[in-house]
Amino acid sequence: MKYNLSGAISEIIPTKTLTDKFIEIKSKVFVVDSNLYELHKELVLQLVGDNPMYLLIATEQNKTLNEAEMIFQFLMLNKVNRSSVIIGIGGGITTDITAYAASVFKRGCRLQLVPTTFLAMIDAGIGGKTGVNFQSIKNAIGTFYPAEKVYINTGFMRTLSKKELRSGWAECIKTALIGKTGLFQTIKQSYPAGTEEIILETIDQKMRICEGDLQDTGFRRKLNMGHTFAHITETATNNELSHGEAVALGISAALELSKRRKMISESEYNKMHLLVEPLLKEIKLLPRYKHQIASRFSEILTHDKKNSNHVNMILFDGFCSTKVVEIEDTDEVRDVLLHGVRN
Ligand code: NAD
């Protein structure tokens, strides 16, 4: 599957075997997630061979300019030039920081990625956004730099925790709900057994959205559906609820708010909400979390509003159709989060 992202061709290659993929590349270096390395050592060593490898400790605290600088030093030491290929293997943290480093080192080197988490396969590792965190703001510094090739090997998923799997599912369901494509039916009929098919359809839908708006100035924003709610929940619970769990709750909240605002009918709500319900059943919005959301809600939203008097939210204005809505009365957002999420 090849996509044209503002002139850059990005090829997504589903594959059962990776061992033959990098052999032909003469000059290459690898940036590998250290946890992934421990879990899949034999395969990683086979892929890397005698080539230089940088082991990255993949935490949000480490997704920084300092760490990017360490990668630059590794690239310098190994005489990487613009025709060398930098290959990132790991979850979204690894693909984000490797892609960032590749995009700026020598004004841009060749980049290939092997996303190894569910979320990275369907979201972080595709679509061309790179980034590092700065002064506690996530992805404050970054570029748009699509990888020339992204290899999707679902074999890596066997070592993921349930929490990590839920993160991927939440983003697949989100993607299905923001466009009128076959993905909605595919998930409805084959969740969770048809993972492979769902992954490929989700990637295709996300990439088609990115093709039309690589730089996120227009309709790519709909990929943020559920994410304002998710950000509040994640921050208020000090990340005890994972990003994926928060996104699943955020999807439910976005549907509820759209229904309350009469932007969708009861039956559209029910039809769409059905898709997220199996995932919501696995997530507990404990009373303790609700207290945390209630007490920190204003502080978090005030920070998000920055200098404007509203927040922009992606809501539904029809079946699998979304719209950006400016919300000034944040009490209704709080009420939906605390009382409107069905789980
Ligand atoms: P992650 O990279 O932190 O990976 C999650 C955990 O799984 C890590 O501990 C990692 O070491 C481990 N891991 C990786 N592969 C594994 C495997 N196969 N088996 C077992 N463990 C494995 O997180 P993530 O959820 O993959 O990605 C989240 C990051 O992605 C965030 O930093 C977020 O900002 C970013 N992101 C970027 C985009 C984008 O468009 N660039 C989109 C969404 C998210």
Question: Which residue's CA is the closest to the ligand 1 atom numbered 1?
Answer: 91
Q: Which run of H or of E encompasses 313?
A: strand 311-318
The DSSP output letter for 340 is I
DSSP 29-69: EEEEEHHHHHHTHHHHHHHHTTS-EEEE---GGG-SHHHHH
Å from CA of 145 to ligand 1 middle: 18
CA 233 to chain CA mean position, Å = 17
Pocket test for ligand 1, best of 136, 164, 174, 215 (most atoms within 8 A of CB): 164
- The confidence score (pLDDT) of residue 304 equals 66
Tell me which amino acid residue 142 is: G
Helix (H, G, I), strand (E, B) or coil at 18: coil
List pocket residues of ligand 1, CB cut-off 6 Å: 33, 35-36, 39, 58, 60, 63, 90-94, 96, 116-117, 119-120, 123-124, 127, 129, 138-139, 156, 159-160, 164, 167
Q: Which run of H or of E encompasses 101?
A: helix 92-104
The DSSP output letter for 160 is -
| pLDDT-flagged residues of the chain (< 70) | 304-307, 343
CA 124 to chain CA mean position, Å = 4
- The confidence score (pLDDT) of residue 339 equals 87
For residue range 177-214, what is the model confidence (pLDDT) as tens digits? 999 889 999 999 988 887 899 999 999 999 999 998 99
* Cα(167)–Cα(242) distance, integer angstroms: 8
Closest CA to 95 of 105, 87, 85, 107: 87
- The confidence score (pLDDT) of residue 329 equals 81
Q: Which run of H or of E encompasses 266?
A: helix 266-280
Contact between residue 146 and residue 153 where contact means Cβ atoms under 8 Å apart: no
Q: Ligand 1: which atom is nearest the Cα of residue 33?
A: 11
Phi/psi-derived region of residue 241, left when phi > 0, alpha when psi is between -120 and 50, beta in every other case: beta
Query: Dmax over Cα atoms in the chain, in whole Å?
Result: 61
- The confidence score (pLDDT) of residue 291 equals 92
Confidence (pTM): 0.95
Contact between residue 249 and residue 341 where contact means Cβ atoms under 8 Å apart: yes
Sort 230 into a burial class: Cβ within 10 Å, 0-12 / 13-18 / 19+. buried
Pocket test for ligand 1, best of 32, 33, 41 (most atoms within 8 A of CB): 33
Helix (H, G, I), strand (E, B) or coil at 216: coil
Paired sense of beta strands 85-90 and 110-115, if any: parallel
Q: What is the CA radius of gyration of the chain?
A: 20
Pocket test for ligand 1, best of 47, 60, 103, 117 (most atoms within 8 A of CB): 117
Question: Which residue's CA is the closest to the ligand 1 atom numbered 42?
Answer: 124
Å from CA of 133 to ligand 1 middle: 14
Question: Which residue's CA is the closest to the ligand 1 atom numbered 28?
Answer: 92
CA 335 to chain CA mean position, Å = 27
For residue range 71-83, what is the model confidence (pLDDT) as tens digits? 999 999 999 999 9
The residues pairing with 322 across neighbouring beta strands, listed in sequence order, are 316
- The confidence score (pLDDT) of residue 128 equals 97
Question: Which residue's CA is the closest to the ligand 1 atom numbered 21?
Answer: 160
